Structure 1
Amino acid sequence: MDPNEDTEWNDILRKHGILPQQIKITQNDIYDSAVERAQEEESRRLENLDLDELDELEDEEDDEVLAHYRAQRLAEFNAQLSKEKFGELTQISKPDYAGEVTDASESAWVVVHLFRDSIPACKLMNRFLSEIAQQYRATKFVKIVSVECIANYPDANLPTLLVYRNGDVKGQLVKLDSLGGLRAKRKDVEKYLLGVGALDKSLRRSLSGEAEADSGDDSDDGGAKHSTYFDLSKGL
């Protein structure tokens, strides 16, 4: 006996709860299910389009649906712009330090370069940081003359990077030795900062004419574990 068969006996058994009630699928049910699947697929497709691609579909799609996704993309774009508010390496002085670094780090990562113009490695680091600042505009990059920041700070420790977040030093890179010295590349410094967590890779912008090979190998931890650590914050 087939319990799903539509017979008078089975109807009696269903009435007394011996067999479960028969679920009948109508043509309307099939149509509604197909429409729902199509709407879900269309939503997934539209969610992956940018503003320009949505504009191209203006004559093909429902205005209300497009307006919804366009507003969503604009909100995402504006949220990204609110994060990417820096974009350059700026020089500060000792009186600026608390506001430009410690206080600023409450809302964004801040990378500080202690430098001297007379030291080649510092010039190299300044060039790297200027380029990285253009790529990662959600991170604040500043430089300050070493002895102005910390009295009698030894040139032998330069260049020095201090990485701040939420008012605290989260990472220190002392000299370029661990990154290859004067043979270091921009991607080596970028890897170190990624390893510390100071850079948001999802917001990375490419420099004009940048080669893909120079973007760095993502396979390691950014070199943070190789840097020498000194407690420099006490002298600030």
Structure 2
Amino acid sequence: MQDPNADTEWNDILRKKGILPPKETPKDEEDEEPEILSHQSVVKTYEDMTLEELEEHEDDLNEEDERAIELYRQQRMAEWQATQVKNKFGEVGEISGQDYVQEVTKAGKDLWVILHLYKQGIPLCSLINQHLAGLARKFKDVKFLKSISTTCIPNYPDKNLPTIFVYQDGNIRAQLIGPLVFGGMKLTKDELEWKIAESGAIKTELEENPRKQIQDQLMTSIRTSIPTSRDNDSDDD
């Protein structure tokens, strides 16, 4: 007589028809299944837990679970610390000469600092302050500062304004001095971002210098407006 528990196509048909009872599960498999499901449940669940919830469930975990959760705990802590660093700033701070040492030269190891020297009443300085406010919100891991020029550096000449100094570890890495460097009141936020990115202080997603695009468009416009020699020959005829 054919074994009703055998894995055959005929037995599967008979089970579907209700002629044979469902296949019996060996006792060993029954004993193992809850443990496997429990472990899978823990692995699936701990990723959505907070660190406090993980600690509450530590008594219910086996050694393998504990190793996995400890690695996960370390990963979550590293992510949290990285987020705290990246979100540390986000705005342009105002400083005076007395704040310079603490806020710039002692700002922190590997920290980039952007300092804008400006004066009230100079339109380009006001424009740059507006652009820097947007960049500070975009690059929150960089410290953006501004200071009235003569408050920070006594007798600093107005002809050098606006001025941007880029620091890292208290050392100047780049400097942008005077209105000609910035291109006047047509300066866009993307152009300023590109200029600062060239120093290495920020990681821009811009693929090329926005000023170059404007220059290329201008040159194209000039070329199309200048008559060619062929056009001049036609006029002579």
Report the TM-score range of the alignment, normalised by the length of the smaller protein: 0.5 to 0.7
> Which residue does 2:167 correspond to in 1?
164
Larger radius of gyration: 2
> Once the two structures are superposed, what CA deviation does each residue of 1:127-180 show, in whole Å capped at 9, x if it has no partner?
111111111111111111111222222212111001111121110011342343
Aligned to 1:88: 91
Q: How many residues are treated as equivalent by the alignment?
A: 154
Q: What runs of 5+ residues in structure 2 fail to find an aligned partner?
A: 1-46, 49-63, 213-237
Displacement of 1:194 in angstroms is 1.1
What's the secondary structure of 1:104's corresponding residue?
coil
Q: Which runs of 5+ in 1 are unaligned?
A: 1-53, 56-62, 202-214, 224-236
**Whole-angstrom distance in 2 between the partners of 1:192 and 1:127:** 16
Q: Given the alignment of the two structures, is residue 146 of structure 1 paired with residue 149 of structure 2, yes or no? A: yes
Cα distance between partner residues in 2 of 1:121 and 1:133:
18
Q: 1:44-193 to 2 correspondence within 5 Å?
A: 55=48, 64=65, 67=69, 68-69=71-72, 72-193=75-196
TM-score (norm 1): 0.56
**TM-score, with length taken from structure 2:** 0.56
Question: Retained in 2: the 8 A contact 1:190–1:222?
Answer: no
* Moved >3 Å (runs of 4+): 63-71, 220-223
Higher relative contact order (CA 8 A, sep 6+): 1
**Change in CA separation of 1:72 and 1:106 when aligned onto 2, cut-off 3 Å:** closer
Q: For residue 131 of structure 1, what is the amino acid of its counterpart? A: G
Displacement, 1:183?
0.4
User: Are the equivalent residues in 2 in contact too, given 1:113–1:142 (CA < 8 A)?
Assistant: yes
Q: After superposition, where does 1:198-213 map in structure 2 within 5 Å?
A: 198-201=201-204
- The residue number in structure 2 matching 1:234 is none
**Aligned equivalents of 1:106 and 1:192: distance in 2?**
23
Does structure 2 conserve the Cα–Cα contact (< 8 Å) formed by 1:191 and 1:222? no
1:85-142 deviation per Cα after TM superposition (whole angstroms, max 9, x unaligned): 1111011111111111111153411111100011000100111111111111111111
1:211-232 deviation digits (Å, cap 9, x = unpaired):
xxxx7x3235999xxxxxxxxx
Q: Secondary structure at the match of 1:178?
A: helix
Q: Distance in 2 between matches of 1:69 and 1:144?
A: 44
